[in-house]
Structures are given as C-alpha cells and as structure tokens.
C-alpha cells in the first residue's frame, strides 16, 4: 500500500506537502516574517492586564478557565445557566456571563474580573463596603463587574439606568437597594477625579 502522501500541513495556510523538507522550504519562503500561528486550542487573552497564552479544551467555559484554571475565584457559579449574573466578567468593555461563554472563543479578548477592578483601586469597592451592598457576598462580584462596565460607558447614570443595568443580577439576600447608592457615589468620586 502506498504511503500516505501530503501528510505535512502548513500551519499558516493549510497547504499540504509530501515531505517535511518541502513544507519547511514553503514556510520559509511564503510565510517569512509572519507570526507563528497558535496550535489548536491555544488562545491568547488578557485578564486584569496580564497576558495569558493558554491551552484550552473545546468544552471549557470561560468561567471554568478563569475560576478553576487561573484561580481567579470571583466569578461565581450560582444558577448554573445564565439566569443570575453572578459569573459576570467584563469582556472588551461589555459585561458578559462567563458560564455561558466558551473559553475557546475568547482568543484576543481583554477581560476584567473584580480582582482586577479592586487591584487598580476602583472606587466601587470602597463604596460597596460603605453602603453594605453585600450580605453573604456570593453574588457581589457579579454586581460589581456589571456596575463597573456601566460606569465605563456611562459616567453619570441615573438610578433608573443603574436598576436597568443590574436587572439581570440575582441576590437572594435582597441587598438590591444598596447597589444604586454605592454606584452613584463611585460615579461621583470618578467624576471628581476627572476619570
């Protein structure tokens, strides 16, 4: 039986070659200077300002990657299916549900979690403490990330706009009235600082 030909695949353009030497020659001439493409399952993303290059399985959710693999435990699993907002992270400026997002689709994305929001000294953290905007605290990171994304695009939100933005976040302890207070005060601090 004839040996399988064209077994060497160019990782840049997927052209097939019979020998490794032929592939090498092609790569060096046709693709000289191009960045080495990522192997399958490898993604590059930025989380809280840190660059990651990481191999993921196709079934991993972004929540699993962030919470279980990277060890950033703030995005919490609560409802298991996109009903509660506790796993919210900010992706390219938008709050998204990390439990409903596949990690493998996040190549090239920039992500923020509460750990990152706290690290840069965002005023939301202290205004949340001040207004007791948490009880058991399990859902709190999801609220803070949603609020931070809101303030990034709307530095002066009304209470109505805040309530609308947070309508998808469940809190079983019922801390709801304290969130608009904390967010409006954080917005004021940011405006005073001119950020």
Partner 1 sequence: MYKVGADIPTMEFNEIGRRGIRRYDGHEKASGKALYTRDIHVPGMLYAKVLSSPHAHARIIKMDTSKAEALPGVRGVLRYDDPEIEGKTLTGSIVGPNRMAPDYAGWALKPVKTILGDEAYFEGQWVGVVVAADTEEIAAEALRLVDIEWEESPFILDGEEALQPDALILCPGAENNKVEDFRELIEKGDVEKGFKEADIIIELKAKRDAHLWAGAEMPSVIARWSGDKLEMWVHEQQPYLSKLILSEQLNIPMYKINTHSPYHGCSFGERDNPPNWHQNGINVLAVLLAKKTDKPVKFVLNRAETFYGFSGDDMVSYCKVGAKKDGTITAVEMKNIFDVLMCTPGIEHFIDNTRVPNLKCLGLTADVSKPPAWWCRCEQLPNCFCFTLVFDHVAQALGLDPTEVALKNDGCDGHDMGYLSRYKQEKGFSDRDSLRECIEAGRKAINWDEKWHPPGAKRLPNGRMHGMAFTWTHDWDDIRGTGSAAVMIQNDGSVSIIAQHSDIGVNPWTAYVQIVADELGVKYEDIEINPFDLNQGFALMSPDGSCNLGSNGYVVKKAAQRAKRMLLDLAAEKFDVKAHELDVKEGIIFERANPENKKTIAEVVNMATPMMNAAVIWTEPPVLAWAWHTQGLWSQAVETGRPRLCRQAHFIEVEVDTETGEVEVTKVVNANDVGKAISPETVEGQMYGGTYMGLGRAFTEEMVWDPKTGVLLNRNLLDYKYATMNDYPAADTVIVETGLGHGPYGSTGIGENTATVVPALLGPALYNAIGVRVDDFPITPAKVLKALGKTEEDKG
- The footprint of partner 1 (CB under 8 A) covers 59, 67-68, 71-74, 76-81, 83-84, 86, 113-115, 117-118, 124-126, 128-130, 132-141, 144, 163-164, 166-179
DSSP 96-165: EEGGGSBGGGGTT-EEE-HHHHHHTT-HHHHHHHHTT--SS-SSHHHHHHHHHHHHHH-SS--HHHHHHH
Structure tokens at 61: 């959710």
Pick between residue 27 and residue 91 the one whose CB is nearest to partner 1. Answer: 91
* Least distance between partner 1 and beta carbon 149 (Å): 15
* Least distance between partner 1 and beta carbon 39 (Å): 22
Pick between residue 125 and residue 149 the one whose CB is nearest to partner 1. Answer: 125
* Least distance between partner 1 and beta carbon 55 (Å): 16
Pick between residue 22 and residue 126 the one whose CB is nearest to partner 1. Answer: 126
**Of the candidates 109, 65, 71, 107, the residue with the CA atom closest to the CA atom of residue 90:** 109
Pick between residue 71 and residue 194 the one whose CB is nearest to partner 1. Answer: 71
CB atoms within 10 A of CB 131: 19
- Could you give phi then psi for residue 2, rounded to 5 degrees? -70, 135
* Least distance between partner 1 and beta carbon 75 (Å): 8
């Amino acid at each position: 039986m004839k040996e399988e030909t064209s077994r060497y695949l160019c990782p840049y353009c997927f052209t097939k070659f019979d020998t490794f030497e032929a592939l090498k020659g092609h790569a060096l001439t046709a693709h000289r200077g191009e960045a080495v493409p990522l192997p399958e399952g490898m993604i590059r993303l930025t989380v809280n300002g840190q660059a990651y290059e990481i191999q993921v399985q196709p079934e991993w959710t972004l929540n699993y990657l962030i919470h279980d693999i990277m060890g950033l435990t703030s995005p919490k699993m609560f409802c298991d299916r996109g009903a509660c907002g506790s796993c919210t992270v900010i992706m390219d400026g938008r709050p998204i549900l990390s439990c409903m997002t596949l990690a493998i689709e996040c190549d090239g994305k920039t992500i923020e979690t509460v750990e990152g929001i706290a690290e840069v000294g965002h005023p939301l953290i202290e205004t949340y403490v001040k207004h007791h905007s948490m009880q058991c605290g399990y859902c709190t990171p999801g609220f803070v990330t949603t609020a931070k994304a809101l303030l990034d695009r709307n530095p002066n939100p009304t209470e109505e706009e805040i309530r609308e933005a947070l309508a998808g976040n469940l809190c079983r302890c019922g801390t709801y009235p304290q969130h608009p207070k904390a967010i409006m005060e954080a917005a004021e601090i940011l405006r005073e600082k001119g950020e």
